Structure 1
Amino acid sequence: MKVPQAGAVAAVIALALTATGCGGGEEDQGTLPIGIKFDQPGIGMRETGGVFSGFDVDVATYVAKELGYKPEQIEFKQVLSNDRELLLQYNEVEFVVASYSINEKRKEKVDFAGPYFVAHQDLLTRADDTSITKAEDLNSKTMCSVSGSTSAENLKKNLAPKAALLELGAYSDCVVALQEGRVDAMTTDNAILAGYAARKGNEGKFKLTGQSLSNENYGIGVKKGEKELQRKINDALKKMVQDGSWEAAVKKNFGPNYKYDPAPAITTGS
């Protein structure tokens, strides 16, 4: 009987392991595509050189680790607010971690794990401005938000109907307008505002007013019906809180002055 050469044996073993997934571990399935925001400092940001930063990035990386993936196996894909459901439905990403507020309308199309964070609509002003302490103070001032923002709609409709509104294409544009004095405040979720305030170069220039104009429970979106993945992500989120990684990520990404809610209880899944 002819003894196979070592190289041939190795090739056969490698082929068998590839076919069987090396025992079924998820880490052997290649990359893990995760949807995040690319333009929200403190939340999800693609930095110069392709490095990713932000609280959602840290949460996604921790969850991936608990699912058996190394950081280098993660493929972050950009998601916009209006295409998160589509990317899940068409299997472009495995899950979405992108300041994704849980609500009943969205739950008709996707399942959520979490929540893993509670944000509140707030106002960002210049650090030396003492004239704005509550939403009603904007009735005689100009505020900025992105076009079609529900935050701006809430403020104009319910809290400061006489405020002037400047709608721009991105929150980063609002930050520039605020710094230049073209507006008096900008509004969106406090986590997003805190990220801009803590961003390198912005330290000491802005402050949050500490409003809680709405409650936004951020969840991790998964494809409808993926109950096992939902359960595994929930387990990972619980562990992240228990071992202190969650709080460390909050403080790292939102700055030392950010007043945050405790980690919320997991309310999704069975």
Structure 2
Amino acid sequence: MMFRHRRTVAAAALAAAAVSGMSACSAVLGEEESLVDATSLTVGVKADQPGLGLEDGEGGFEGFDVDVALYIAGELGIPEGSVEFVGVTSDQREDVLDVEDPLLVSGRRVDMVVATYSITPVRKTEVTFAGPYYVAKQDVLVRSDAAEIGGVRDLEGLDVCQGEGSNSTTRITEGLGIDVVPTEEPTYTDCIDLLREGDVDAVSTDNLILAGFQTQSPGEFRLVGNPFTDEKYGVGLRYGDVAACEAVNRAISKMYQDGVADDMLSRWFDGTGLETLDSVPQFEGCA
């Protein structure tokens, strides 16, 4: 299950989606319907985050989040061939799950989001979260020659980039009271490009995301390694689908208990120096 994955959907499911204008899942959330009844699945993942969710240039996606989504799908009884991945950005994640007025991606609604989606009180008013399936920590990425930056406090007065829809710089400015100059770009790939060119001084977000970019450009960037805050990655589901949330939580528990999660994390983040999580995270609850 931990290999490069194609965007594949059963032809019948695609035909049904074309007729209905909805995503290729068999269950639409209603009074008694749930994602647990689905026979196919459309999953929103990041398309530009190495090690987590990255479009491979051949129509497929790969990374830890992709592997997690496929594992969950398997536990829900949905075969890999009936799982389709579509790329979503940070600011699209609530909208693609909206039952009443969904943002269509590739002509479809998204049934589930596994896209470094931090669980927050505000987001829980719009999305039902299973998990977390991982707890990352916010850290800082700088150019390798920026020896003067040893932690988040050293960012005072500097330019810090975040992806659109992220809360990363808010956690620095409002959460820690550190006055930085925030820059927001559509994606973290754009932030990394600005960092590379010297147009910003740092990029701050979850350490798994930063470690992925660091491994993609060896020697060019340095992960400060002085994390602050916990980032609980949840599986985003349509609001109110408690049955699906409970089923996904059972799958996440099994994924850690069987050692599969550790294998996935080793596959994508060995050599980064990160100490990755190896036990079941404490769940938030589905109600």
Output the TM-score relative to the length of structure 1: 0.79
For 2:36 and 2:163, how far apart are their aligned partners in 1? 39
- Name the SS for the 1:258 alignment partner: coil
Give the counterpart of 2:212 among 195, 209, 218. Answer: 195
CA apart distance, 1:148: 6.2
For 1:148 and 1:97, how far apart are their aligned partners in 2? 15
- Name the SS for the 1:211 alignment partner: coil
- Name the SS for the 1:98 alignment partner: coil
Alignment of 1:1-270 (within 5 A): 31-90=40-99, 92-139=109-156, 141-147=158-164, 149-157=166-174, 158-161=176-179, 163-199=180-216, 202-256=217-271, 257-263=273-279, 264-269=281-286
The answer for unaligned runs of 5 or more in structure 2 is 1-25, 27-34, 103-108
Check the 8 A contact 1:85/1:109 in 2, yes or no.
yes
Change over 3 Å in CA distance of 1:77–1:149 after alignment to 2: closer
- Name the SS for the 2:135 alignment partner: strand
Check the 8 A contact 1:31/1:73 in 2, yes or no.
yes
**Alignment deviations for residues 199-248 of structure 1 (CA, whole Å, 9 cap, x no partner):** 2xx12322211232322111112122322211211111011101111112
CA apart distance, 1:266: 2.6
For 2:47 and 2:72, how far apart are their aligned partners in 1? 19
- Name the SS for the 1:82 alignment partner: helix
Of 253-262 and 64-73, the range deviating more from structure 2: 253-262
Change over 3 Å in CA distance of 1:173–1:109 after alignment to 2: closer
Check the 8 A contact 1:198/1:255 in 2, yes or no.
no
**Alignment deviations for residues 23-61 of structure 1 (CA, whole Å, 9 cap, x no partner):** xxx999653111222222222111111121111111001
Check the 8 A contact 1:116/1:218 in 2, yes or no.
yes
Of 117-126 and 148-157, the range deviating more from structure 2: 148-157
For 1:187 and 1:30, how far apart are their aligned partners in 2? 39
For 1:235 and 1:156, how far apart are their aligned partners in 2? 37
Check the 8 A contact 1:122/1:212 in 2, yes or no.
yes
Give the aligned length. 243
CA apart distance, 1:68: 1.4
Of 250-259 and 232-241, the range deviating more from structure 2: 250-259
Report the counterpart of residue 8 of structure 2 in structure 1.
none
Change over 3 Å in CA distance of 1:205–1:106 after alignment to 2: same
Check the 8 A contact 1:194/1:255 in 2, yes or no.
no
The answer for unaligned runs of 5 or more in structure 1 is 1-20
Output the TM-score relative to the length of structure 2: 0.75
Check the 8 A contact 2:36/2:243 in 1, yes or no.
no
Change over 3 Å in CA distance of 1:182–1:227 after alignment to 2: closer
CA RMSD of superposed structures (Å): 2.6
Report the counterpart of residue 10 of structure 1 in structure 2.
none
Larger Rg: 1
- Name the SS for the 2:97 alignment partner: helix
Change over 3 Å in CA distance of 1:167–1:105 after alignment to 2: closer
For 1:75 and 1:32, how far apart are their aligned partners in 2? 6
CA apart distance, 1:160: 3.2
